[in-house]
A = this chain, B = another copy of it.
């Protein structure tokens, strides 16, 4: 079952490495199937280059393994917590991308200094409190802190991004690292740099949601 989705999730996990967002075996992508509500996720501790579609683990929303010969990611319970609490989210990406993680170490939100950040994250990328790995605590931090952004920094750990599909969750992970890189460089020179004004952020974000890309948009969500 879910053969096509396992292929997509496998490719998305491999793309994390090609996009320079992960190192060694850390980081993962999951996807929730609309029909079954089952979730497909990366197995724990496997190298991205070694991943094959049949290695993906299928779990139900409560963590029972439906299919798969490997242990799922240690972040699985947190992914599931998010899916149970946010019907609009169908994909989650987790990385330790370095510039974004350096903000997570400092416990700081990343305000929007650029039109691109305003397009994707609106006012700012929030930073959560610390949460232990392995149970639902990370998921709870994501749900409590993510607000209207598709990305959240997890204190002293890394990054989670979400989307209505894999493409949007991956895009948020890529643009978050780019945004953190700009912000790092600029605020090193000027720590008190002003972010974009609220009305400009609204204007950018509205234009992006309604006019960017090839498909007609409904302008209901920023995911």
A residues whose Cβ falls under 8 Å from a Cβ of B: 23-26, 43-46, 70-71, 74, 96, 98-99, 101-106, 113-116, 130, 132-134, 156-158, 171, 174-175, 178, 181-191, 193, 196, 200, 203-204, 207-208, 211-214
Contacts and interface: CB of A to CB of B under 8 A. Distances in A.
A159 to B, nearest CB: 12
B70 A181 contact: no
B132 A178 contact: no
A156 B184 CA distance: 14
B23 A182 contact: no
Contact of A214 (B44, B183, B185, B189): B44
Contacts of A191: 189
Contact of A96 (B116, B157, B171, B190): B116
Given A213-B44, A213-B45, A214-B46, A101 B115 contact: no
B114 A174 contact: no
Nearest to A190: B106
A178 B115 contact: no
Contacts of A25: 213
Contact of A98 (B24, B113, B185): B185
Nearest to A46: B214
A96 B114 CA distance: 10
A52 B103 CA distance: 38
A71 B213 CA distance: 8
A203 B74 contact: no
6 contacts: A23-B175, A45-B213, A98-B181, A106-B190, A116-B157, A132-B203
